[in-house]
Amino acid sequence: MPAKRDSHSPAGKSLPERGLLLLIVLVLLQGSVLPLGAASSPNTSRNDYVDNPQVKVGKSNYTKKAFPVLTLDYHHIQAPFEISLWILLASLMKLGFHLIPRLSGIVPESCLLITVGLLVGGLIKLAGEDVPPVLDSRLFFLCLLPPIILDAGYFLPIRPFMENLGTILMFAVVGTLWNAFFIGGLLYAVCQIQPANPSILHKIELLPCLLFGSIISAVDPVAVLAVFEEIHINELLHILVFGESLLNDAVTVVLYHLFEEYSGAGTVTVLDCFLGIISFLVVAIGGVLVGVIYGLLAAFTSRFTSHVRVIEPLFVFVYAYMAYLSAEVFHLSGIMALIACGATMRPYVEANISHKSHTTVKYFLKMWSSVSETLIFIFLGVATVDGPHHWNWTFVTVTVLLCLVSRVIGVVGLTYVINKFRIVKLTTKDQFIIAYGGLRGAIAFSLGFLLKKDLFPMREMFLTAIITVVFFTVFVQGMTIQPLVELLAVKKKQEAKRTINEEIHTQFLDHLLTGIEDICGHYGHHHWKDKLNRFNKKYVKKCLIAGERSKEPQLIAFYHKMEFKQAIEMVESGGGFKMPSAMPSTVSMQNIQPKKPPPAKPVEKAEKAPSQLPKGREEEIRKILRSNLQRTRLRLRSYNRHTLVADPFEDGFDDLLIKKQKMIELEKKIKDMNNYLTVPAAPPDSPTMCRARLSSGKDTDFKPAQQQKGNKTGPDPQSYRAKPESDSVPTIHVDLASPQSPDSVNVMDEFRRAGQQRGGERGEEDQGLMMRPHKTGEGADGKDPQKLTRCLSDPGPSADEEEDQPFLA
Amino acid sequence: MGALQSSPGQPEYVDLKEKTGFSFSQIRVLHNRFKLLSHNGETLKRDHFNSIPDLACNPIRSQIIEAFFDRRNFRQNGEGPVDEIHFEEFLMVMSHFKAPSPRMIEERESVRREKLRFIFNMHDTDNDGTITLEEYRHVIDELLSLSEALEKDTAKGIADAAMLEVASTSMGHMEPDEFYEGITFEHFLKLLKGFEIELKMNVHFSMMDTPTFCK
């Protein structure tokens, strides 16, 4: 890599370094502003306070000063200013890390961010100022945590989550309980040893120890997300660790409150334990219920937003946040509420909101969660520098050790039990990764921060130990998990995009397995899932999804989604189609269609059925086609709803009119695609149907079929190349011929032969909206180019030979 | 209960166990189910499957039932449909849904082939070794048959798109006048390579001690 960099021009080489320098300067600036801000504010506020009575009293003897042209009034905007500064710092840091190429590969981002936090905290301390209490628990739990959890919940992959729910719950509930009691108990035991020289440790009682254990035992979703995101581990392990980190919140909440409550009293009775269990159920189920209710509310609201699309994303966010806050009101598990809300509302909301709103929701969630995560780690660093620390070697080392040991034992023990019930067993490698992925993070720290000093004299020691554990897990485990994953050759995430065949077979398999279960008479997993799906389809969808989409089966929804995605890609690429570099396949629709009997001559066909194409029209078409053969490129400038420029080679005004009308119709259809209203049920609006009708000339929507032929303006494959001088208007070449008719095949052949010298032709059939792929960056494997044409395939000829294509002789 | 009825004794179970890989308890449970479905008869016919109420709502029920009566699934290298099956054949078909034991790579590969073969046979209704476009369309039609809002052409479109995908990935280059006959088994394997079917196509046989009743 260094060699490569050397080969670049000197300018290119220094750019990232320059950027880095700039960043460092900015950081230093910010680091210095903050203490300045902290310093100036008390002064100014004091001055103000002093001034005010003076002004009031001495109104009469108001001395006139020169009018201040420029004043400094910092405290007026201090709070928002500082918040913005922190956010800016966080974002710039994130930018910076990606400018340094090697670093982001070795060290996970979370470590770097903590380091930055340490630096900034150190700077502030050096400046002699008080470090602002950034990791204030309220700020953390109310502002920083919800975006991350909502992002996780909204994009939670439901299928693997539900399939592994039993395992996840086992790890979350039983695992966390085991961790808490093991760590707490053993810590207490360790603290009690050495009765000879009584140390400060002896003062710690059992209950605070257990409380400490419960704080430190919970796997942290933020840390897990941050680290696991970068290692791209396979879906199963990811969902296991991540799901566990999300669901153990309920356990943590209950244990925390239980022990905190009774630490004052000093004892916990059996009744309390029993109440604790009940409380756990209430907290967990209540949290989920609250989330589901808000989720359904959000889904229901989104049903009516078709006229005010702009605020659709807002509903998603606000309802979710309300769910979180409502759960927190009752001390229910806010995290579970948030997850339930996001997961519940997603399928319905996505069916209702526009494509743009969907993008907005996605990007806002990602943005907020990203900023939140960065801020959390930086604050962790800052708070470390700040917080009063009480370092006790024994306590801290024992804690770290116990955390590791208890995690390993817990995972191994639980897996042994779980594997009896799982079809796909967890291997040793899996267990290792699960155990190793049990990272602790900011939640533990914030919970520790919440402890009251008077009840817990050992608070500082606890905090120090918590911070040490967090640092240890994030730094040591976070940094080494990537090489370990490579070393152990753990399966990585499959990057391939979902193909339509896989979707078909997923559905097929679902039904098949349900059927087999029914035959065996076993009410298994699939049976209940199927029942839920049917219930969903029958009742819930009708309520929550607007319009026709409520009846759309999943397969069709998937298909339309893919079509739409590729339409967008195509439009975004500006109509420029490059040759797909990988896997150029010349397979086209015609290759898979069953062979038809030898085509009857067009003349015969014209005799067979009344020709719908009058002679004059035919001549025009032929003229157009011939002229296209001579031109290297022909495009129909269309798809700009404001300008519908006529093709200069078109003669015949009626042709223009027809085309214009076609364009408007088609464009309307495509616009409708935006709103997911292309449903099979109604007079089908999908482009496929539209094209099918156009090509088969059967439909009544448009003017009589004759005009459609007029649109066959040279399906010149060459026209899909991006012109160097292309204008900004993306073009779609609309070719409405059905590819199946033998005549059109001939046409294609002609063109192909004509255009053969242009090299590397793809003899791809034109079918309706022929959207050739423009090789996009994301996930474009060799299959992508194929997919475009595939999914926009003409539905094919209807079986009946009505196709009148008295086209070319 | 087992000894009193006319059930195969232990030695037959041993034979079945070896052939299918089920455990004794699993075989016993499935045998009870078989007897329940066939009303204590020796063989199971297609009509017997109609007595399962839950199966009626399944969109691909006819294909599932056909799979039970398809000789290709009996692992005896036969072909063509039969009209009635014995317990052994029932068990053979069921054995396709056993979970693979977490063992070596080779075994996983063969397990995957076997499961995909089962699905392939379900699609390939005319036993010619390829899934033609018509057959594939039929599959998709069946899948979508339960939803009321169905237009034929979207289903056709989906089938065409899927077929084109298979053809593209398997064949690569085809002349315009060549014809892609249909999905062969090898293409099918290649198509669903990333699907991890050996992990998905499993039914939990060990937990089936409480048979549900049918009409």
Token pair 């930055």: residue: A116
- Most confident option among A231-235, A362-366, A626-630, B30-34: A362-366
Give the pLDDT score at A482: 85
Give the pLDDT score at A148: 92
Q: Is the pLDDT of residue A516 over 90?
A: no
Q: How confident is the model at residue A491 (pLDDT cuts 50, 70, 90)?
A: confident
Give CA separation, A734 vs A597, A660, A730, A731, in Å.
28, 12, 12, 9
Q: How confident is the model at residue A587 (pLDDT cuts 50, 70, 90)?
A: low
Helix extents (H) in A330-441: 334-352, 355-386, 393-418, 428-436
Searching chain B, which residue's CA lies closest to the CA of residue A555? B144
- Could you give the percent of chain A with pLDDT greater than 70? 60
| DSSP label at residue B183 | E
- Provide the shortest C-alpha distance from residue B195 to chain A (in Å): 7
Chain A residues in contact with B167 by the CB 8 A cut-off are 585, 587, 591-592
Chain B residues in contact with A509 by the CB 8 A cut-off are 119, 197, 200-201
Six token digits for residue A365: 């969630």
Six token digits for residue A235: 């879906």
pLDDT digits (tens, 9 = 90+) for A227-257: 888 888 888 888 999 999 988 888 888 888 8
The answer to whether A701 and A693 have CB atoms below 8 angstroms apart is: yes
Give me the residues paired with residue A687 across strands.
none
Question: Which residues are within 8 A (CB) of B60 and not within 5 positions of it... i.e. 6 or more apart?
Answer: A508, A511, A512, A515, B142, B143
Rounded Cα distance, A646 and A597, in Å: 39
Q: How confident is the model at residue A362 (pLDDT cuts 50, 70, 90)?
A: very high
Q: How confident is the model at residue A408 (pLDDT cuts 50, 70, 90)?
A: very high
Helix extents (H) in A521-652: 525-535, 541-544, 554-572, 589-592, 602-608, 615-630
Give CA separation, A652 vs A590, A617, A705, in Å.
32, 10, 17
A652 φ/ψ sector (left φ>0, alpha ψ -120 to 50, else beta): left
Average pLDDT over residues A509-518: 84
**Which of B204, B205, B215 to probe by mutation at the A interface, max A CB count within 10 Å?**
B204
Searching chain A, which residue's CA lies closest to the CA of residue B35? A520
Give me the residues paired with residue B81 across strands.
B70
Give the pLDDT score at A14: 55
| DSSP label at residue B81 | B
Instruction: Output phi, psi for A799, to 5 deg.
Output: -60, -35
The minimal CB distance from A790 to the residues B165, B173, B192 is found for B165
pTM assigned to the model? 0.69
The minimal CB distance from B164 to the residues A584, A763, A790 is found for A790
- Provide the shortest C-alpha distance from residue A508 to chain B (in Å): 7
Q: How confident is the model at residue A629 (pLDDT cuts 50, 70, 90)?
A: low
Instruction: Output phi, psi for B30, to 5 deg.
Output: -65, -35
pLDDT digits (tens, 9 = 90+) for B152-182: 677 777 778 777 777 777 776 666 666 667 7
pLDDT digits (tens, 9 = 90+) for A305-352: 888 888 889 999 999 999 999 999 998 889 999 999 999 988 888 888
Collapsed DSSP state (helix, strand, coil) of residue B130: strand
Average pLDDT over residues A424-441: 88
pLDDT digits (tens, 9 = 90+) for A766-783: 434 444 444 333 333 334
**Which of A520, A676, A677 to probe by mutation at the B interface, max B CB count within 10 Å?**
A520
Chain A to chain B Cβ contacts (< 8 Å)? 240
Q: Is B186 on the interface with A (CB under 8 A)?
A: no
| DSSP label at residue B45 | E
Rounded Cα distance, A794 and A767, in Å: 6
pLDDT digits (tens, 9 = 90+) for A562-586: 777 777 777 777 654 443 333 445 5
Q: Is the pLDDT of residue B7 over 90?
A: no
Give the pLDDT score at B151: 66
The answer to whether A691 and A767 have CB atoms below 8 angstroms apart is: yes
Chain A residues in contact with B164 by the CB 8 A cut-off are 587-589, 592, 786, 789-790, 793
Q: CA angle A393-A395-A397, nearest 5°?
A: 65
